[in-house]
Amino acid sequence: MSRLSSPPDGVSTGLVLVAAALMTLGVVMLASTGATLEQSLFETTSWRAPVVRQVAFVGVGLVVMLVCGRIGPGVLLWRVGSWFQPAAIGLVIAVVLLAAVWVPGLGVESHGRRRWVAFGPLGFQPSEVAKPALVVFLAAMLTRRRPDGAGTKPDLTVAMLAVGLVCAMVGVEDFGTAALLALVGGLMMLVRGCPLRTLAAWSIPAVGAFTYLLVSHPYRVKRLMAFTNIWEDPLGAGYHPIQSLAAIASGGWSGRGLGAGMAKYGYLPEGRTDFIFSIICEELGVLGGGMVILLFITFVLLGLATMRRAPMNDGGFARLFAFGVTVTFGLQALMNIAVVTVVAPTKGIALPLVSSGGSGVFCFCAAIGLLAGVPRLRSLPAAAFSGHPAGVPGVLPAMERVR
């Protein structure tokens, strides 16, 4: 068990701290949106429930993250190459859950869309599971070792099919997440070194599919049109963007004060979830919003550092995994903030770890925990990856710089 006793590492600790900070902010903001003037602070019945729930989610999430950090992504390499490897199992579970949304009695409709699966009192969003599952699967497929053990041979076709399948299943009900997953998939292939020509060729059917998903739901087209001029229909399609901007603008530089926001009084209906960033800006100002953005930038840079000093003796799996997790997390945050600041058209995408909800917290916590555990792979004996040299010239000095 020598790998479990390696000393805590600055970058890994930083990742955990950033994630914990974001989750804490999420809980604080959830309490803030619930604490309205309509009732006394001591009449806590109406806001206590969601906050307590979220505190529980965050608590469990932290435990999950620390445990995953202890274990490290090495576990994903268990029985690698076989059909029973964790990457394959994860993807299958994700696909099954995505399909379960459509099973009567399991799938739950919310806001007119089926994105939820319920097991008794517990419910969660399969699309959240799909994100880490796809990242792990792609990392595994793209760094698959040759049967003869001499180097790696990426299985691009399987990877592409996996991305296509997951995006299609997610995209029917959740265009934003599908776009995110497709983008993440494409970027991971790019980083793995897939030729641009191949990627371009694959992107043609992808663009076609996304166009179909777009036009198959009139509200998506409407949102896209509204984005071009949000003031055209201020009470209809333009309502959310305008109210989001209004909330941000009324915050000013330092905000109206925690709990003093007005948008939560029915002006911004998704204030606890997708539009939490607007509420943060309203109550904590550009300063608060800027801090959140800085946290995400920090996370991405820490992810980059993690990636760069991950060992190559696993054929690049850890690196690709680190990149995948980082880019999924960062890209989702970027898309969310772009939506609420009306830089991009409205789509239902949450601010990772900050928006209230359990599924996202658990899945990202697990992924971030594994990411934080990447440095542990260094202590793996070289023999674990027979035939592969431990480390590649040039990687170690680069890693030192990052430190």
Partner 1 sequence: MEARYADQGRNYSVIGGTILVGLCLSFAALLGRLVHINTALAPKLSALVQNQQIGRTALPARRGSILDAAGRLVAGTRTRPSVFADPVLIDDLDETALRLSMVLAVARERIAEILYENEARRFCWISRLIEPQDAVAVRELKLRGIGVRNESQRYYPMGELLAPTLGIVGREGRGLEGIELAYDEHLRGVDGQRVLVYDGRSRRRPIRARTPLSHPERDGGHIMLTIDGVIQSSVEKNLRAAVESFNAESGVAVVMSPKTGDVLALAQYPSFDANDYGAADVETRRNRVICDAAEPGSTFKSYVACGALIAGVVDPDEEIDCGNGERRFGRRVMHDSSPHGLMTFEGIIAKSSNIGMGVYAERMGNDAIHSIVRAFGFGARLGIRFPGEATGIVLPLSRWTSYSTTSVPIGQEVSATPLQLATAFCAIVNGGELMRPRLVKAILNAESEIVKYYGAPDVVRRVMPRETARYMTEQVLVGVVKNGGGRAAALADWQMLGKTGTAQMPFLDRKGYEPSAYIGSFIGAAPAGDPACVALVMIHRPDTGLGYFGTTVAAPAVRSIMADTLAYFNIPPSSRLASR
Nearer Cβ to partner 1 (106/293): 293
**Quick one: tokens of 348?**
């239902």
Position 36 contacts partner 1 (CB under 8 A): yes
Nearer Cβ to partner 1 (53/153): 153
Cβ atoms of 141 and 88 closer than 8 Å: no
Using CB under 8 A as the criterion, what x/- string covers residues 55-74 for binding partner 1?
--------------------
Position 331 contacts partner 1 (CB under 8 A): yes
Closest distance between partner 1 and the C-beta of residue 327, in Å? 7
Closest distance between partner 1 and the C-beta of residue 27, in Å? 23
Position 337 contacts partner 1 (CB under 8 A): yes
Position 374 contacts partner 1 (CB under 8 A): no
Cβ atoms of 306 and 389 closer than 8 Å: no
Position 348 contacts partner 1 (CB under 8 A): no
d(CA 3, CA 305): 20
Closest distance between partner 1 and the C-beta of residue 253, in Å? 7
| Chain residues 161-220 in contact with partner 1, contact rule CB under 8 A | 187, 190-193, 195
Nearer Cβ to partner 1 (115/144): 144
Position 312 contacts partner 1 (CB under 8 A): yes
Position 224 contacts partner 1 (CB under 8 A): no
Size of the site for partner 1 (CB under 8 A): 62
d(CA 255, CA 251): 4
Position 323 contacts partner 1 (CB under 8 A): yes
Closest distance between partner 1 and the C-beta of residue 310, in Å? 8
Residue 260: CB atoms within 10 Å: 14
Closest distance between partner 1 and the C-beta of residue 362, in Å? 24
Question: Nearest Cα to 368, choosing from 2, 7, 95, 11?
Answer: 11
Count Cβ atoms within 10 A of the Cβ of residue 191 and give its class: 0-12 exposed, 13-18 middle, 19 or more buried.
middle
Position 131 contacts partner 1 (CB under 8 A): no
Question: Binding residue for partner 1 (CB under 8 A) from 250, 273, 313, 359?
Answer: 250
Q: Starting from the edge strand earliest in sequence, which strands make up the sheet with 107-110, in order? A: 107-110, 113-119, 122-124
DSSP of 252-275: TTT-S-TT--STTTTTSTTTTTTT
Residue 32 identity? S
Closest distance between partner 1 and the C-beta of residue 98, in Å? 26
Cβ atoms of 86 and 76 closer than 8 Å: yes
Cβ atoms of 280 and 259 closer than 8 Å: no
Count Cβ atoms within 10 A of the Cβ of residue 351 and give its class: 0-12 exposed, 13-18 middle, 19 or more buried.
buried
The contacts of residue 144 (CB under 8 Å, 6+ apart) are 81, 152, 153, 154, 155, 315
| Binding positions for partner 1, rule: CB under 8 A | 36-38, 151-154, 187, 190-193, 195, 242-243, 245-246, 248-253, 262-263, 265-268, 281, 286, 289-290, 293, 296-297, 300-301, 303-304, 307-308, 312, 316, 319-320, 323, 326-327, 330-331, 333-334, 337-338, 341, 343, 392-395, 398
